[in-house]
Structure 1
Amino acid sequence: MVRNVAVLGAGTMGAQIAAHAANAGLLVLLLDVTLEQARAGLKGLEKSSPAALFVPEKIRQIDIGTIDKDLGRLRQADWTIEAIVENLDIKKQLLEKVDKARRPGSLITTNTSGLSITALAAGRTEDFRRHWFGTHFFNPPRYMKLLEVIPTADTDPAVLAAFEKFAEIVLGKGVVLAKDTPNFIANRIGLFAALKTIQLMQRYGFTIEEIDRLTGSLIGRANTATFRTIDIVGLDVFFHVADNIYQNAKHDPQREIFRVPQFMRFMAERNMLGAKTGLGFYKKEGDDILALDIDLLQYRPRRNPSFPFLEMAAGIESLPARLQALFKTGGREAAFLSELIASISDYAALCFSEIADDPDAVDRAMRWGFGWEMGPFELARALKGEALQPASFLKRQRVIRQNAGASLLDIGDGVACLEFHSKMNTIGGDIISALFESLEEVNAHFAGLVIANEGRNFSAGANLMLLLMEAVEGNWDEIDYMVRTFQRATQAIRYNPKPIVTAPFALTLGGGCEIAMAAARAQAAAETYMGLVETGAGLIPAGGGTTEMLRRAAGRGTQRIREVFENIGLAKVSTSAEDARRFSYLRSEDGITMNSDRLIHDAKAVVLELAATGYRPPVPTEIPVFGESLGAELKLGIYLMQRAGHITEHEANIARRLAYVMCGGSVTRPSTAPEQYFLDLEREAFKSLCGERKTLARMEHLLKKGKVLRN
């Protein structure tokens, strides 16, 4: 349907939309008033953090030009999206020119965050209006799932349906149909929630730190909570949305809530707009963070508020159960939260028929656009004790067998799924045991297996706590058994007679990466951050990861071995699935799914395709051994890195062990060796490093602080 995209406006949103279209494999034309502005938009993409592009090379898919000179090129565009300044008259003037330049039958949309879609198309041709609708991306488009699609009365339903499918599959978006009302769904509800929070804060006498403590993950919202979120968004943008709703939602019974408080106007007058100006509700001063006292409008040292019930609440995983427990504690905090959540649910019920076709659309918009764990309607139903249908696909499937770490599920059509559900999906004995049992079941009764889950991450790696406990106790035989068993597991995946497809996404690290790489295919989510990061814990990959990387580098010369050595040694992690291909964590034959909601579906389809075409597992092959000549070169590099102060003595020690394994141990001349030879080298080096005091310190620090200790 869509291959060529034109984006009008190379500002922050226009350039970011262009980048995401390029990520999706589309060819993009990015136009602005001047070539300098278009170039600046492109330059901003190269420097953006977080990265707007999956890989830097994607920028080659974006061509630039000017609106005056290059508008004729819109005839080649299958989809033109307008993303210029939020001014009705200026947009209408541009759209009049676009109407004359575009190809009949091509899509034309606007990224306005709140202007009337119908008003923007007034006076346009019939073909324009049939192919016209709003496409409101949330910033940054690469990372924010929500895409609000806003049709008008003239939009062709078939055109709209085709675009929805394209946006979900190709762009990877969570599409929500919204009505043409001020600021659509997510910003309407989200702004109400923020302003109601501020209103109640003033009434209950809380500080901004207390509000951010109460309105973040505790109640199923983003960690940035209320005021840190406003600082990130910018007070100017916040005002723009609030003022637009206040001016245009004249029949809203809660309209007055959108009149921004005077103290925030005071902040805007003094350029206290948030992160973009360095001053907002918070301010960084050297290493210190200051918070704004909204009564005095002066900064003071940020406080770390403590509420007695927080520790109790932290242990309750279910959001409705956690909130019910909080409400029962009494006190002003409970009263505040109870009133806030009820107010948001009441407002959503009040206006949902105006802004959406059904309550589910509102819930999805708030989950995907604002990062809420539950939308206002589903939360209200859950608090009343109503049973909700699980949103998770896997939770609706038949369980074949289960233990504390994993479940084997029947996902239909002769395909099973092994789902991890340990903390952070770390891999321990339960998961390994479930894997071996699953392979027996699959080989007897199924066409193949998907290894997937619907947690926050595919897997953060092996169970480091268990390993540390064994190492501290000096249980070397137990460690040997653990590593041997893990190696047997990855080898069993690789050589299983029925096809196995892994579905990595988000963090896929260490042992999780090794499992993902072991399968016949990987079907990865576009946002997959994959890497062999064991050196950060003072170790090397020993679940078959080092051996697999050597196998993948075979036939590509010593330069590729050097690159693999560097990637493992520096614990490099991909910034996307596309980037994972550059590291060889993913192969050319592995697939990428843009929409994570479709990941298991796509992985299952690959299993069925492999099974239908007569899948045969690979045959064990010899792996090239480069011997001491390459080993000496790598050791020299390690020595120079240490001498220059880039790595510590212990890091040099880890790197030498890794080089020893990768170059074939004590082999002096180039030859080949069976993969078991390298697996044995991996395991011995791993065990040896477990006996190092500094490795134990690294593991302990990583578990306690979540950061690598550079000792």
Structure 2
Amino acid sequence: MSTRRIKKVAIIGSGIMGSGIACHFANIGVDVLLLDIVPGELNDKEKAKGLTLEDDVVRNRLVNDALTASLKSKPSPIYHPSFASRISTGNLEDDIAKVSEVDWIMEVVVERLDIKQQVFEKLEKYRTPGTLITSNTSGIPIKFMSEGRSEDFQKHFCGTHFFNPARYLKLFEIIPGPKTAPSVLDFLNEYGEKFLGKTSVIAKDTPAFIGNRIGIFSIMSLFHTVKELDLTVEEVDKLSGPVIGRPKSATFRTVDVVGLDTLVHVANGIRENCPDDERKELFVLPDFIDTMMENKWLGSKTGQGFYKLERKADGSKDILTLDLNTLEYRANKRAKFATLELTKTIDKVADRFKVLIKGKDKAGEFYRKSFSALFAYVSNRIPEITDELYKIDDAMKAGFGWEHGPFQMRDAIGVEKGIEMMQAEGLKPADWVMDMVQSGSDNFYSIKDGATYFYDIPKKSQEKIPGQDAFIILDNIRKTTEVFKNSGVSVQDLGDGILNVEFQSKMNTIGGDVLAGLNKAIDMAEKDFAGLVVGNQGPNFSVGANIGMIFMMAAEQEYDELNMAIKYFQDTMMRMRYSSIPTISAPHGMALGGGCEISLHADKVVAAAETYMGLVEFGVGVIPGGGGSKEMTLRASDTFRKGDVQLNTLQDYFLTIGMAKVSTSAYEAFDLGLLQKGKDIVVVNKDRQIAVAKAHAKLMADAGYTQPVHRKDVLVLGKQALGMFLVGTDSMKDSNYISEHDLKIANKLAYVMAGGDLSEPTLVSEQYLLDLEREAFLSLCTERKTLERIQHMLTKGKPLRN
């Protein structure tokens, strides 16, 4: 275990990547010094102000402008606006001596070896011996960069490659130089996982390392397949997106976002520097790419690439698509394939691969060709780019957002089927794969005792993937630790007396079966265990209540059943709050509506940093009905301080619901009152979340957890608050900021949060507020406009303003 601490870092170069990395270090609480060059000349604004090249504001213009632009970009590179204060800026002439005070220097300048070498020469004069020094390069050989540098410099030097955007993409490649000390690699590997929240992968010093070598191959392979099979841009994006567990941006939209010039630069680098690559002809650019480069159709940065955003005369927007045959833009065409229709009922991506490769149409042919090419290529890259196959899968999942890496895909299809498919495409499987199959091993991965094992090629046996001990991977333990299951949840015994309840409904929506499972889990925990975690490892924690079920009941006017269903939700939330064991909620991704209410009622929340949390019920024409309206009223009451204008505090909580505010990170959820300072915590690495939640449940149980007493001391402000709310909502309606129906919903919420029209501030019980909340929710479900909103959300996936 290293005793090295990172309190301050210096980032050299403030471009998109440098500023993004600086913001991510600020996200995790590290002080950052961000430096860039001094401008060579004044701009027009500076000339007009009579400034000179000696003025500080001019000398730091490049770095300050770059950081400002980064902080304004969407999605934001920073968890919370206040974290930007952890970054100080300067330039490489006046401030370079300050690098002597930092623990890690990272160079992120332009991708030119000569410039990088000049920067390192300059830095070495001021660097304190023992300080980490790394280069964020996407492909320049690490061995060339540290030539001529001191022994201490070379020992502490390596490549550390973040993927853009640094906050959101999890891959952190660590590339050793010829003299990098093993202790430095070990430290960075652990630091990346534990503090930066990344998937750390130690790669070999080969062109484009692991992620880009395989990722760019995959894209270039599709560029050639698209012409061969005469597919359109839309068809390829439909085939290579979420259906196979890849991001929505799929292939061509991803290239537009990254920039075609970036892709071409890396592809050319691989072609020129990998003479022995058996597929190097695939890195030769097709004609349509050459034309796009000449025309500067580079993607989002130039306003057009494979897609083009066109603004019409009436102000509306239209997205046009590039026809790869005529190289002219045309209207978007919907892509449809019979093979894809067969996968609509298959929820698990891994289970779709077998169906997709059997397709009898162009889609089936596309998958057979592209998967075969990918499988053959990655097998042949071992041991060139890495010795361990799992590192390739880790890199593709963390760097390119793939749900499954190539070797996991092959396991899902069947290793022998993959060989057969490759041979049919005229591709030769790697010798080591044939050896593996002949030795009787038919999987690249296996699971044993809750851990993942991989096929180790030199040892010819399954070996445990290192570093898993800090994680609990539910997929690995479910079969052996499941103690209860219904159609909505799986309950697992995590050991040490702690249970975990995992939602398994579509998008983890909360319906009767999930609530029944949650109640059952609490029963079991109270009887035979010490604590309960509510957590899963799907893309999202929960998108909220099952609104389809609410719509059916409301449309059929089954109001008694609907009342019972809402009460069941409320009672379950109160059960979580008042059970005899500690309950921990572990939200990540979207935690909306009912998913948010679960966290509001847990004893403690262990949130992933990337948690987008909010009470969004206004969007479907109701108020939070699972205890959310009650809880925000209670939290407002708990924050009233003597001498406060209590109405203002209550109004803040009212607006969080009324404006359906959603946090853009867990840290923002504290501002909205959805997480509580001093009680709830944030974990940067989502993979560690369940393990940390379990540790906190155990800690609370071991410390002697006492069942809380029901609250009867919630201060509500009655008519005084109600009057203020009604005046506010009326003025919003009069200025056309909200619709007639919005007004109705807002006034219902106002009634609940004021505690009704009581003549004076009064202490009430939680149950009193829950009854008001349920009554308001039910009355809104009788409104035609609410039903229209729910139906629109169910069919279109977005809110209706009616």
What is the TM-score of this pair, normalised by structure 2? 0.87
Asked whether 1:50 is paired with 2:75, we answer: yes
Give the structure 1 partner of residue 798 of structure 2: 707
What is the Cα deviation at residue 321 of structure 1?
Answer: 4.0
User: In the alignment, is residue 275 of structure 1 matched against residue 275 of structure 2?
Assistant: no
Tell me which amino acid in the other structure corresponds to 1:579: E
**Residue 289 of structure 1: SS of its match in structure 2?**
strand
**Greater shift in the superposed pair: 553-562 or 135-144:** 553-562
* SS in structure 2 at match of 1:354: coil
1:381-530 correspondence to structure 2 within 5 Å? 381-384=411-414, 386=442, 388-389=445-446, 393-395=473-475, 396-397=477-478, 398-530=481-613
Question: Per-residue displacement from partner, 1:78-129 (whole Å, max 9, x unpaired)?
Answer: 1111101000000010011111211211111111110011111111111111
Would the aligned equivalents of 2:499 and 2:529 in 1 still touch at CA under 8 Å?
yes
- Kept in 1, the 8 Å contact 2:625–2:774? The answer is yes
State which of 781, 795, 800 in structure 2 corresponds to 1:690.
Answer: 781
How many residue pairs match? The answer is: 711
Q: Give the aligned partner of residue 689 of structure 2.
A: 599
Determine helix, strand or coil for the equivalent of 2:99: helix
Which residue in the other structure is 2:672 paired with? 583
1:262 aligns with 2:287: yes
Tell me, yes or no, if structure 1 residue 363 matches structure 2 residue 393: yes
What is the alpha-carbon distance in structure 1 between the residues aligned to residue 37 and residue 359 of structure 2? 58
Residue of structure 1 aligned with 2:206, choices 176, 181, 189:
181
> Residue deviations 1:674-710, cap 9 Å, x none?
1111111111111111111111111111111111111
1:246 to 265, 268, 271: 271
Mapping 1:96-115, distance limit 5 Å: 96-115=121-140
Map residues 538-687 of structure 1 onto 2, 5 A cutoff: 538-554=621-637, 555-556=639-640, 557-588=646-677, 589-621=679-711, 622-687=713-778
CA contact (8 A) 2:338 2:361 kept: no
Where in structure 2 are the equivalents of 1:17-32 lying within 5 Å?
17-32=21-36
Amino acid at match of 1:687: L
- Describe the shift of the 1:331–1:422 C-alpha distance in structure 2 as closer, same or farther (beyond 3 A): closer
CA shift for structure 1 position 220: 3.0
1:203 and 1:46 map into 2 onto residues whose CA distance is: 43
Contact 2:170 2:199 in 1 (8 A): yes
1:324 paired residue among 331, 337, 354: 354
* Superposition pairs of residues 13-92 of structure 1, within 5 angstroms: 13-34=17-38, 35-92=60-117
Contact 1:45 1:53 in 2 (8 A): no
Distance apart, 1:197 and its partner CA: 1.0
The answer on whether the counterparts of 1:471 and 1:691 sit within 8 Å (CA) in structure 2 is: yes
- CA distance in 2 between counterparts of 1:239 and 1:678 reads 61
Distance 2:663 2:144 in 1: 44
Asked if the contact 2:531/2:582 (under 8 Å) is kept, the reply is yes
**After TM superposition, which residue ranges in structure 1, 4 or more long, deviate above 4 angstroms?**
385-388
Contact 2:722 2:757 in 1 (8 A): no
Question: 1:160 is matched with which residue?
Answer: 185
Deviation at 1:320, TM superposition (A): 4.8
Contact 1:701 1:709 in 2 (8 A): yes
C-alpha contact 2:256 2:306 (8 A) present in aligned 1? yes
What SS class does the counterpart of residue 543 from structure 1 fall into? coil
Deviation at 1:288, TM superposition (A): 2.7
- Kindly state the Cα deviation for residue 425 of structure 1 after the two structures are TM-superposed: 0.7
Structure 2: give runs of 5+ residues left out of the alignment: 39-59, 312-316, 416-441, 453-471, 641-645
Would the aligned equivalents of 1:352 and 1:362 in 2 still touch at CA under 8 Å?
no
Name the TM-score, length of structure 1 as normaliser: 0.98
CA distance in 2, matches of 1:485, 1:509: 19
Distance 2:88 2:289 in 1: 41
Tell me: CA distance 1:11–1:309, structure 2 relative to 1, closer, same or farther (3 Å).
same
CA distance in 2, matches of 1:42, 1:329: 49
Give the distance between the partners of 2:366 and 2:299, measured in 1 at CA: 26
1:188 aligned counterpart, secondary structure = helix
Which of 194, 209, 234 is the matching residue for 1:169?
Answer: 194
The 1-side partners of 2:181 and 2:708 are apart by 50
What does residue 354 of structure 1 align with?
A: 384
1:196 and 1:326 map into 2 onto residues whose CA distance is 18
Once the two structures are TM-superposed, the CA of residue 373 in structure 1 deviates from its matched residue by 2.1
In structure 2, C-alpha distance between the alignment counterparts of 1:331 and 1:460, rounded to whole Å: 35
Q: Give the equivalent residue in structure 1 for 2:222.
A: 197
The answer as to whether partners of 1:500 and 1:519 remain within 8 angstroms in 2 is yes
Whether the 8 Å CA contact 2:606–2:693 is kept in 1: the answer is yes
The secondary structure found in structure 1 opposite 2:301 is: coil
Distance, in Å, in 2 between the alignment partners of 1:618 and 1:118 is 61
Q: Distance in 1 between matches of 2:723 and 2:669?
A: 28
Partner AA of 2:326 in structure 1: L
For the 8 Å contact 1:539–1:686, the answer to whether it is kept is yes
Aligned partner of 1:294 in structure 2 is: 324
Letter of the aligned partner of 2:217 in structure 1?
A: F
Q: Distance in 2 between matches of 1:60 and 1:660?
A: 40
> What is the aligned-residue identity percentage?
43
Task: For residue 318 of structure 1, report the CA deviation from its aligned partner.
Answer: 4.1
- Mean alpha-carbon deviation: is it higher for 333-342 or for 187-196? 333-342
Say which SS state the counterpart of residue 408 (structure 1) adopts. strand
| Offset of residue 434 of structure 1 | 1.2
Contact 1:178/1:357 (CA < 8 Å) preserved in 2? Answer: no
- Which deviations, in whole Å up to 9, do the C-alpha atoms of 1:174-230 show, x marking residues without a partner? 111111111101110111111111112212222222222222223332222221111
- 1:534-582 CA deviation, whole Å, 9 max, x = no partner? 1111111121111211222224232221001111011100000000011
Which residue of the partner structure matches residue 374 of structure 1?
404
Question: Per-residue displacement from partner, 1:324-379 (whole Å, max 9, x unpaired)?
Answer: 22332334432232021111110111113111131100011011111222211221
Indicate the larger mover: 333-342 or 676-685.
333-342
State the match for 2:235 in structure 1.
Answer: 210
Contact 2:339 2:360 in 1 (8 A): no
Q: Which deviates the most, 464-473 or 542-551?
A: 542-551
- Once superposed, what is the RMSD of the aligned Cα atoms? 1.4
Which stretch of structure 1 is more off in the superposition, 62-71 or 373-382? 373-382
User: Which range is displaced more, 224-233 or 520-529?
Assistant: 224-233
CA distance in 2, matches of 1:533, 1:114: 44
Runs (5+) with no aligned partner, structure 1: none
